[in-house]
Each structure stands twice: as C-alpha cells, then as structure tokens.
Amino acid sequence: MKTSLWPVAACAVVAAGLLQPAPAQAAAHGVLAREVGLAATVLTFEGGLAGIQPFLHFTPLQLGGGLCASPNTCRPVDYPAWPLGQYFNNQGADRLQAALDEVAGNVTLFGHSQGGQVIYTALRRWAQDPASAPDPGQVSWVSIGNPENVVGGRAPNPVPDYSPYSGIEVIKQYDGWADVPTDKSNVLAAINAALGRSTAHVFGYFDVDPDDPANIRYTPDNPDGSPGNITYVFVPNPMLPLVGATGLLAPLLNPVLDPILRPIVESAYQRPFEVPAPSSAVATPPAAASVGVVADALAEVQVLDD
C-alpha cells in the first residue's frame, strides 16, 4: 500500500506561513547543549517533500528555533528530498558529507523526518568506513520525527551499535511516522496514527521544548551494558489526533473523549518506557536501561509500504 503524499505537502505549505519559533524557546536549549555538545554551526536537513525546493526551510524553526538561536548559526543543506526510498537518502548523505568537509570546528546535524534518515545514513556509512568518518568529538546530531528510530518508527533502521556520535532523537507522541502502534489490529490506534502522520508529524515539533519536565528521556545501553550515546526524548501529546480532527470543538471534547479513547489507543503500543496519561504521575522506568523523566535536561517523509 502506498501512502498518499498530497495532504502532507499541503500541510507543509501552510506551515510556512503560520509557524514561527516560540519566543520563550528562542535560545539554545540547555539539554541539547549538554547532551550532544551543541555546536556553533548547525547543518539542517528538511523532511521529505518539504526539502525538494531550496527556498523555504522549516527545520531551523523546529524545537522553537532554539538550535539556531545566537550564537549558533544554522546552515540548510539542500538535497533531493523525494520520499521514494534509500536512493534519495544516499543523495542527502552525500550532501551532508560535502557540507561537513566545508565547515571548520564543531558541528551539529539537525534533521526532521527524512532529514533524520539522511543523518542515520551518514552514521551507518561512517561505521562501515571509518576512514571517511569525522571526529566524534566534533560532530553530534539531533533528529526529530524520524521514521527509522527504533523506539517506535514506522520503518525502524537502527544506528550502528557503539556509534561514537552523541545524538538526540525527539519523538512526539502519536506522530504516525515516528510513534507507530505495535498492534496493527487496533483500528482506533491505526486511525489515530494515520491522522498523526499529517498533524503531529508535520506541525508537532515547532513548539516542542526539550527541557519540558513532562518529556520522557530514554537512553538505552549498548549491548555490552556500557552507556549508549543516543538519548530518545519522548514528548507526550495532550490531545489525540482523533480528537484534534474535530477542529474547533476539540478543546471542548478533549476532556470528555480523552479518558475514553486514550486507554484504547495506548493498548496498541509497546514502548520501552511507560507514558503517563496527561493527568497521571511520572512514568515508571523499566530495568536494564537508563530511563528518566526530563526535569532539567533535555512530511512528511513518506515511506512506501509493500
């Protein structure tokens, strides 16, 4: 089954005119600076469809624009962001490597959706060919809404074990590309995720604050038990896309429908951490991994299904 691309393309165009960085977040996020050593130069990579044109760049506005706030400098890296398979991700990784070679000093790679897949492609290349790999002490990465993330991505494709590059993967709850239900037979969860592919995925990261105490931070260990270098920041969604689809009625309906629908939707997920309901206490961390609630720390790529 092939996923329609047009609704997301339309949403991306609307986003260009409506979405701006949140003023309260227009500063480099402390968690990103601490966890990945946020650099003065940030190379940004657009998601699928949004990135096929070189004029509008949405990624610098994501996460409230904090990664691109002074004194950091964001530099968009354009690539043919057609969401039609690995070929275009490889093209993006080629552009990433070329851009990296032109920058002196520390660099952070920042990609949304397919832009995150481009970063993952580069990380896998560096693991296979260490001679082409940059200094891990000078390169870090931040990915948001990545379908390849292994915590809940629609097309999981992991970063190599023991990758020396520190990274943060931000996942918005019910982003239908990055937070996919495990139980495919749960019709309500499937519909909710489908709606989330063109709502939470496209619009859901612009106002995300990585330092929000409500976020859940999950840092899995390496296979040998040593600390991993990837931190997953899971951002709870206070409203189901199912409820959001009711438009202007959503704020009125949410207090009534959420307690009924959310438990059904959540029963379809098997995440490596617990996610509390909006009115619940913090999540309970599982064993064998470093998990915590973030207190002081921390479109649209369309994968074609067979």
Q: What is the pLDDT of residues 189-226, one digit of tens each?
A: 999 999 999 999 999 999 999 989 999 999 999 999 99
pLDDT at 147: 98
Helix ranges (H only) for the chain are: 6-18, 30-36, 86-101, 114-128, 187-197, 200-203, 241-244, 250-266
Is the pLDDT assigned to residue 281 strictly greater than 60? no
Helix (H, G, I), strand (E, B) or coil at 11: helix
pLDDT at 16: 39
pLDDT at 304: 35
pLDDT at 278: 86
Right CATH for 6-293 from 3.40.50, 3.40.30, 1.10.530, 1.20.144: 3.40.50
pLDDT at 71: 86
291 and 285 in contact (C-beta within 8 Å)?
Answer: yes
Helix ranges (H only) for 109-240 are: 114-128, 187-197, 200-203
Distance, in Å, from the CA atom of 266 to the CA atom of 287, rounded to the nearest integer, reads 21
Q: What is the pLDDT of residues 238-267, one digit of tens each?
A: 999 999 999 999 999 999 999 999 999 999
**What contacts 73, CB < 8 A, 6 or more positions away?**
40, 41, 42
Structure tokens at 108: 């952070």
Distance, in Å, from the CA atom of 23 to the CA atom of 32, rounded to the nearest integer, reads 18
- The least confident of 8-12, 106-110, 297-301 is 297-301
224 and 288 in contact (C-beta within 8 Å)?
Answer: no
Is the pLDDT assigned to residue 20 strictly greater than 60? no
Please state whether the predicted TM-score (pTM) of the whole model is above 0.85: no
Q: What is the pLDDT of residues 126-173, one digit of tens each?
A: 999 999 999 999 999 999 999 999 999 999 999 999 999 999 999 999
Q: Identify the band that residue 292 occupies on the pLDDT scale cut at 50, 70 and 90.
A: very low
User: If you write DSSP's letter for every residue of 162-174 in order, what string do you get?
Assistant: T--S-EEEEEETT
What is the percent of the chain where pLDDT is above 70? 78
pLDDT at 40: 81
Structure tokens at 173: 């709850």
User: Distances in Å between the alpha carbon of 48 and those of 201, 248, 255, 268?
Assistant: 12, 29, 34, 27
> What average pLDDT does the chain have?
84
Give the residue with greater pLDDT, 306 vs 30.
30
